Structure 1
Amino acid sequence: MRRRTFVLTGAAVASAAFSDVGFAQQVSPGIDVASKTVTVGAFTPITGPVPFYAILTHAAESCFRWSNETNALNGWKIKYVTYDDGYEPSRSVAVTRRLVEEDKIFALAAPIGTAQTGAVIPYIKEVGVPMIGPIGGSSALFAERLSFPLLPDYGWSAASNLDYALNGLKLSRVALLWENDELGRSAKRGFELYLSGAKKQAIESIPFEVRNTDFTPHIRRLANAKADVVILFGSNANLAAALKSADRLGFEAKWMAQFFTADPTTRKLAGPLLDGVYFSSWLMPVTSNDAPIKSYRESIARYYPNDPVGVFGLNGWSNGMLFVKSFQMLLASGKPLTRTSLIEVMETMKNADIGGARGVSFSSDDHRGARQEGIIQADADGGFKLVQGFRPYPAQVFDAKLA
């Protein structure tokens, strides 16, 4: 198991914005008041089927470096410890246990994977460790008080894609290709719920395995069903492989996918086959001149110059920023630096700008973070353009009871 530790040094100048009075009265593991250090950790797939997902961890780490170097936490610094889990849920649980029991983390911060973050919930409930910014789209993440997801449920995103396909593109023969794990099942739930409310049916709904590299049988089924739009929920590699299979078999349809595949990583895998593909996205465009987006671009260029600048990295940065903002709130509250206090202050967050996300809110009975998406499209110039502005998620899916 590969371990990576980043001890991120912060600026020495203190600000009067926060007070340290009373912090030493009660603290949780992971808090070192003497050195003003908070230790957080994450599991990340350095090996396995999606090693490029480590870009997410690079971006989160860059956010923490930015936080400390700009003195965003009043002299407090973040120590970030990560281990490789190979994108295997059972290993994610083992990594989390090691982070808690050996590294004494205060919280999980920006751990990666839908099935992976879902798998650790029983353990974090047992030990009371918050999970801030889990990079996954499972309904289970919103139902657990210790979990504060910034990402939307993939079912909401699937509904946004479907709404655009039916009402924006005026297409009707809709099919879903879904990864056979919690990521894909979440998308499938939202997809089916939206169709039920619209009194429509999918012409195909086909599962695939995360390691799948040949979509020939799937594409043949889609062609036989005469699908005119295919919504795929899976990894960047899955989307690229499906597009290649469709091209090889001469199958033509509109393609749609979720936000994190609208990235240079997918472009590198799919090449010009990505042109024209649509994506739902809860993040601001990565080319925005907003200060948080500029900070992301500048930090990645500084710390990981070989990583592509795109929505994939902005996702990791934004989930890292969720911890930075929440710890700012904890410091400002004057409450003891405990995990319980962190949860309490996060549940007062209202309409906050968090990295590339806007209008993020949490409460004691609602842990849904992002609440709206736009539709972007890959263009022939290698970029991505906004083709539909940000809109609230379809209410019949967003307001449905969580699974």
Structure 2
Amino acid sequence: MKTNRRTFVGGGAAALLTGSTVAVAQKKYDDGASDTEIKIGNTNPYSGPASAYAAIGKTIDTYFKSVNEAGGINGRKIRFISLDDGYVPSKTVEIVRQLVEQDKIFALFQPLGTPCNTAIHKYMNTKKVPQLFVATGASKWGDPKNFPWTMGYQPDYHTEAVIYAKHILANIKDAKIGVLHQNDDYGRDYLGGFKEGLGKEVGRIVKIVTFEATDPTVDSQIIQLKDSGANVFFNVSGPKAAAQGIRKAADIGWKPVHYLNNVSVSVAAVMKPAGFDNAQGIITASYLMDATDKQWQANDEMKTWSAWMDKWMPGANKADANHIYAYGVSYLMTEALKRCGNELTRANLMKQAAGFRKFRVPLLLPGITVSTSPTDFYPIQAVQLQRFKGETWELFGEVMHAESS
């Protein structure tokens, strides 16, 4: 059950008249929060194999600067401290300890990567510091009973993979499936969901090959998949490896029905480097509008975002979906902080994050909203399939909702 949140007027303390006595609402602060500032930490791979995601950290930083220019959150400015972990879990541990123990952050927001978040998962919960709206869709981030200080954001990988599997079974006759996945928790989460979705048809997987995040290419893996006789390709890769895989498949004349995980849908970071001709027909699941899709040009949310980009990030490539992703999740974080009012405790932040009901975050696809509860830490549980055509994605079918945990 949700409790009613306290409302504060004009960012100041709410006064309650009781006879001739005025009671002033008590301000409450944990480390990282004060009358003037809220200190938010973040880790992001600004260098290394996952550096295509640097756009997320840069956009979040810029978003909070725009919030500060507009007066901050309930009169407080956001101090955003984002550090480069290079997508190396041991480095994530090192800098998160610095953020928590030295910088005294109020919360860790949008730390990126499944292996990196896994490395700090128990630490953050032991320290009781929010690890909030993490930038990974691993299903483990929705476990409030055992990890009450960690919450995901995007649709979870397991559910996404189930949807691909069911689409393959319904639409591809005599499917022989080859799977490429990153050799870590992120890749295994997708594989587990995919196998579950195939059910008794799991034997249709004829080949599974893996790669390390630090591998220079996935060329040899693509050759192995072609040689297996697979006519369906399930590609579980980050942006760099995804683009390589698409390009290599075309180079060797392998033309399977290609399913690509949602984390690599960026037209600018993946499809264009892979070659638009090579990317035709690829299928993925999405929950966000795409700036390259002309159907959204007249959409008010897209126009607002585009104007914001023109003002705040004029040199950025709007075709990079990471900018839209980061803008939306920053909007959600800002709202959660607003709802805390003057009770800026970490426990209250988690309470507010767990209290959204069908909340509209800008640039989510129509019909998709954010809902959470004290027992449901999966904010977004719906996707729609799309197919790459020309130089953009084309949505098809209906919005599909995952069952709430």
TM-score range, shorter chain: 0.7 to 0.9
1:266 corresponds to 2:276: no
Q: Deviations for 1:83-113, whole angstroms, at most 9, x for unmatched residues? A: 1111101111111111112222111112111
Residues 4-403 of structure 1 mapped to structure 2, 5 A cutoff? 16=9, 18-21=11-14, 25-33=27-35, 35=36, 37-71=37-71, 73-143=73-143, 144-168=147-171, 172-196=175-199, 201-263=204-266, 264-272=268-276, 273-286=278-291, 288=296, 289-309=298-318, 310-331=320-341, 336-357=343-364, 358-380=368-390, 382-393=391-402
User: Which deviates further from its counterpart, 73-82 or 302-311?
Assistant: 302-311
Q: Which amino acid aligns with 1:85?
A: D
SS of the residue corresponding to residue 307 of structure 2 reads helix
**RMSD after superposition:** 2.3
Give me the whole-angstrom Cα distance separating, in 2, the residues matched to 1:352 and 1:319. Answer: 12
1:210 shift after superposition: 1.4
Structure possessing the higher radius of gyration over alpha carbons: 2
Q: Which amino acid aligns with 2:193?
A: G
1:18 shift after superposition: 4.6
Q: Is the 8 A contact 1:233 1:258 kept in 2?
A: yes
1:169 shift after superposition: 5.1
Give me the whole-angstrom Cα distance separating, in 1, the residues matched to 2:310 and 2:107. Answer: 27
Q: Which amino acid aligns with 1:275?
A: Q
Q: Is the 8 A contact 1:62 1:317 kept in 2?
A: no
Q: Is the 8 A contact 2:109 2:132 kept in 1?
A: yes
Give me the whole-angstrom Cα distance separating, in 1, the residues matched to 2:374 and 2:400. Answer: 25
SS of the residue corresponding to residue 31 of structure 1 reads coil
Tell me the TM-score normalised to structure 1 length. 0.86
- Counting aligned pairs with the same residue, the percent is 22
Unaligned runs of 5+ in 2: 1-7, 15-23
Unaligned runs of 5+ in 1: 1-14
Q: Is the 8 A contact 2:386 2:393 kept in 1?
A: yes
1:24 shift after superposition: 5.5
Give me the whole-angstrom Cα distance separating, in 2, the residues matched to 1:176 and 1:326. Answer: 38
Q: How many residues align?
A: 376
The one of the two structures with greater contact order (alpha-carbon pairs below 8 A, sep at least 6) is 1
Q: Is the 8 A contact 1:362 1:368 kept in 2?
A: yes
Classify 1:16/1:170 alpha carbon distance in 2 versus 1 (closer, same or farther; 3 Å).
farther
Q: Deviations for 1:311-338, whole angstroms, at most 9, x for unmatched residues? A: 222122222222111112212xx6x210
Cross-structure match for 2:4: none
Q: Which amino acid aligns with 2:13?
A: D
Q: Deviations for 1:114-137, whole angstroms, at most 9, x for unmatched residues? A: 111121111111211102211012
Give me the whole-angstrom Cα distance separating, in 2, the residues matched to 1:205 and 1:214. Answer: 17
Q: Is the 8 A contact 1:159 1:194 kept in 2?
A: yes
SS of the residue corresponding to residue 303 of structure 2 reads helix
